[in-house]
Amino acid sequence: MKDPKKEMNRREFLRRLGFGTASAMAMMAMEPLEVFSRDKETSQKPADIRMTYRVQHGSGEQISLLGFGMMRLPDSQEEVNQLVDFAINHGVNYFDTSPMYKGGRNETQTGEALKRHPRDKWFVATKMSNYDQRYWTIDGAKSMYENSFKALQVDHIDYYLMHGIGQNGMKDFNPRFINNGLLDFLLKERDAGRIRHLGFSYHGNVEVFDWLLDHNDKYHWDFAQIQMNYVDWRHASLKRGWNKDADAEYLYNKLDKLGIQCVIMEPLRGGALGRLPDELSNQLKAVRPDDSMARWAFRWVGSRPNVLTTLSGMNNADHLKENVLTFSPLETCTEAENMLLANIADQMAGFPTIPCTTCRYCMPCPYGVDIPGNFAYYNEAVHNHILPLPEKDAADYKERLQAFNDGLIKALPDEKTWAHSCMDCEECLSKCPQQIRIPNQLARIVETLRG
Ligand code: SF4
Ligand code: SF4
pLDDT score, position 256:
96
Domain span at residue 403?
371-450
**Model pLDDT for residues 51-72, shown as the tens digit of each residue:** 999 999 999 999 999 999 999 8
- With 0-12 / 13-18 / 19 or more C-beta atoms within 10 angstroms meaning exposed / middle / buried, residue 72 is middle
pLDDT at residue 37 greater than cutoff 60: no
* Res. 322: pLDDT tops 90: yes
pLDDT of residue 39: 36
Residue 18 has pLDDT above 90, yes or no: no
Measure the CA–CA gap between 173 and 238, rounded to whole angstroms: 24
pLDDT at 207 over 50: yes
Residues 221 and 264 in one domain: yes
Residue whose CB lies within 8 A of the most ligand 1 atoms, among 361, 363, 365, for a mutation test: 365
Shared domain for 413 and 286, answered yes or no, is: no
Residue 331 covered by a domain: yes
Q: Are residues 277 and 404 in the same domain?
A: no
Closest ligand by atom to 422 CA: 1
Average pLDDT over residues 324-337: 96
- Structural domain includes residue 107: yes
DSSP string, 94-116: EEE--TTGGGGHHHHHHHHHHTT
Cα(193)–Cα(427) distance, integer angstroms: 38
**Residue with CA nearest ligand 2 atom 6:** 356
The confidence band for 429, taking pLDDT boundaries of 50, 70 and 90, is confident
Determine whether the shortest distance from the Cβ of 189 to ligand 1 is under 6 A. no
Indicate which residue's Cα is closest to atom 8 of ligand 2: 359
Query: In total, how many domains does the chain have?
Result: 2
Say whether both 320 and 409 belong to one domain.
no
pLDDT at 279: 84
270 CB-near residues (< 8 Å, 6+ apart): 355, 356, 357, 358, 434
Atom 3 of ligand 2: nearest residue by CA position? 432
Do 223 and 159 meet the contact criterion of CB atoms below 8 Å apart? yes
Domain for residue 355, yes or no? no
Give the CATH number of the domain where residue 269 resides.
Answer: 3.20.20.100
**Which ligand has the shortest distance to the CA of 240?**
2
Distance 398 CA to ligand 1 centre (A): 29
For the Cβ of 367 lying below 6 angstroms from any atom of ligand 1, the answer is: yes
User: What confidence tier does 448 reach under pLDDT thresholds 50, 70, 90?
Assistant: confident
**pLDDT cut 70: percent of the chain above it:** 88
316, 348, 380 - which closes a domain: 348
Of residues 296 and 168, more confidently modeled:
296
pLDDT, the chain, mean: 86
Output the pLDDT for position 237: 61
Identify which of 129, 227, 362 to mutate to test ligand 2's pocket (most ligand atoms within 8 A of the CB). Answer: 362
For the chain, percent of residues with pLDDT exceeding 90: 65
Task: Decide whether any atom of ligand 1 lies within 6 Å of the 432 Cβ.
Answer: no
**Chain segment 74-108, per-residue pLDDT in tens:** 999 999 999 999 999 999 999 999 999 888 899 99
Distance in Å, CA 428 to ligand 2 centroid: 9
Residue 44: per-residue pLDDT: 39
Our answer on whether the CB atom of 365 is closer than 6 Å to any ligand 1 atom is: yes
Dist. CA 430 → ligand 2 center (Å): 10
Contact in structure between 355 and 269 (CB atoms under 8 Å): yes
Identify the band that residue 122 occupies on the pLDDT scale cut at 50, 70 and 90.
Answer: very high
Atom of ligand 2 at shortest distance to CA of 357?
A: 7
Q: Are residues 230 and 330 in the same domain?
A: yes
Those residues with Cβ within 8 angstroms of residue 67's Cβ, 6 or more apart along the chain or in another chain? 92, 94, 95, 96, 125, 263, 309, 310, 311, 312
State whether 277 and 377 are in the same domain. Answer: no
129-153 confidence digits (pLDDT tens): 999 899 999 999 999 999 999 999 9
pLDDT given for residue 326 in this prediction: 97
Q: Does residue 274 surpass a pLDDT of 60?
A: yes
Phi-psi region of 241 (alpha: psi -120 to 50; beta: other; left: phi over 0): left
On whether both 296 and 385 belong to a single domain, the answer is no
Beta-bridge partner residues of 160 = 126, 198
For residues 254 and 401, state if they share a domain: no
Cβ < 6 A, ligand 2 pocket:
356-362, 371-372, 375, 431-432, 434, 436, 438
Return the higher-pLDDT residue of 298 and 40.
298
* Residues 249 and 378 reside in one and the same domain: no
Please determine, for residue 2, whether its predicted confidence score (pLDDT) is greater than 60.
no
| pLDDT confidence band for 117 (50 / 70 / 90) | very high
Ligand 1 geometric centre to CA of 416 (Å): 13
Q: Which helix (H) or strand (E) holds 342?
A: helix 335-348
Selected residue with higher pLDDT from 317 and 24: 317
- Closest ligand to the CA of 417: 1
Predicted confidence at residue 425, as pLDDT, reads: 93
Give mean pLDDT, residues 169-197. Answer: 97
- Looking at per-residue pLDDT, the higher value among 8 and 406 belongs to 406
Q: Which is the closest atom of ligand 1 to the Cα of 371? A: 3
Ligand 2 pocket: which of 98, 266, 375 to mutate (most atoms <8 Å of CB)?
375
DSSP code per residue over 177-210: IITTSHHHHHHHHHHHTSEEEEEEEE-S-HHHHH
> What would the pLDDT profile of 350-374 be if each residue is shown by its tens digit?
777 888 888 888 999 999 999 999 9
Give the pLDDT score at 235: 83
Tens of pLDDT, residues 375-399? 999 988 887 778 878 778 888 889 9
